[in-house]
A and B are shown apart, each in its own frame.
Chain A
Amino acid sequence: MNKYNETLIACEHCDLLQVKQPLQLGQIATCPRCGSRLYFNSICSPMSMLALTLTALILLLPANLYPLLSMTMIGSTETASLLQATLKIFHEGNYFVALLIFICSTIAPFLMLLSLCCASFIISFNIQTQWLKKLLKWTDFLTHWSMLEVYLVSFLVALIKLVDLADIELGVGLVCFSLLMIINSLILSFFDASSYWQKVPIDAIS
Chain B
Amino acid sequence: MQSAKDAGLVRCGECALVCSFQENSQCPRCNATLTMRQTNSLQKTWAYLITACIFIFPANFMPITILISQGNETPDTIMSGVIALINSGSAGIAIIVFVASIVVPIAKILGMGFILLSLQLQLSMSHKMRFIMFKFIDWVGRWSMLDLFVISIMVAVIDKGQLLVIVPGPGATAFASVVVLTLLAAKSFDTRLMWDLEKDNDWTN
A4 close to B131 (CB less than 8 A): no
A97 close to B176 (CB less than 8 A): yes
Scoring A residues 29 to 63 as 1 if CB is less than 8 Å from chain B, else 0, what string do you get?
00011110000000000000000000000000000
Interface residues, chain A, with chain B CB atoms under 8 Å away: 1-6, 8-18, 32-35, 68-69, 71, 73-74, 76, 78, 80, 84-86, 88-89, 92, 94, 96-98, 100-101, 104-105, 133, 136-137, 140, 144, 147, 150-151, 153-155, 157-158, 160-162, 164-165, 193-194, 197, 200, 202-203, 206
A94 close to B143 (CB less than 8 A): no
A160 close to B93 (CB less than 8 A): yes
A104 to chain B, nearest CB (A): 6
> B117 interface residue, CB < 8 Å from A?
no
* Closest partner residue, chain A, to B97 (CB atom): A157
Q: Complex: how many Å from CA A157 to CA B21? A: 50
Chain B neighbourhood of A194, CB < 8 A: 16
Within 8 A of A (CB), among B1-56: 1-7, 9-11, 14-22, 25-31, 34
> B195 interface residue, CB < 8 Å from A?
yes
A150 close to B146 (CB less than 8 A): yes
Chain A neighbourhood of B120, CB < 8 A: none
| In the complex with contacts A13-B131, A14-B195, A101-B9 CB distance below 8 A | no
Chain B interface extent, by class = 35 or more
Q: Complex: how many Å from CA A165 to CA B177? A: 30
B11 close to A15 (CB less than 8 A): yes
Chain A neighbourhood of B34, CB < 8 A: 2
Scoring B residues 144 to 175 as 1 if CB is less than 8 Å from chain A, else 0, what string do you get?
01111111111111111001100110001100
A104 close to B145 (CB less than 8 A): yes
Chain A neighbourhood of B109, CB < 8 A: none
Chain A neighbourhood of B5, CB < 8 A: 15
B9 close to A10 (CB less than 8 A): yes
Within 8 A of A (CB), among B88-115: 88, 90, 93, 96-97
B1 close to A94 (CB less than 8 A): no
* Closest partner residue, chain B, to A152 (CB atom): B149
B153 close to A154 (CB less than 8 A): yes
Enumerate 16 A-B pairs (CB-CB under 8 Å) in ascending A order.
Answer: A2-B27, A3-B19, A4-B29, A10-B16, A15-B11, A16-B2, A17-B6, A34-B128, A80-B153, A97-B151, A97-B173, A101-B152, A154-B147, A154-B153, A161-B93, A162-B154
| In the complex with contacts A89-B155, A133-B31, A94-B15 CB distance below 8 A | no
Interface centre among A1, A74, A164, by most chain B C-beta atoms within 10 angstroms, is A1
Contact partner of A17 among B7, B21, B88, CB < 8 A? B7
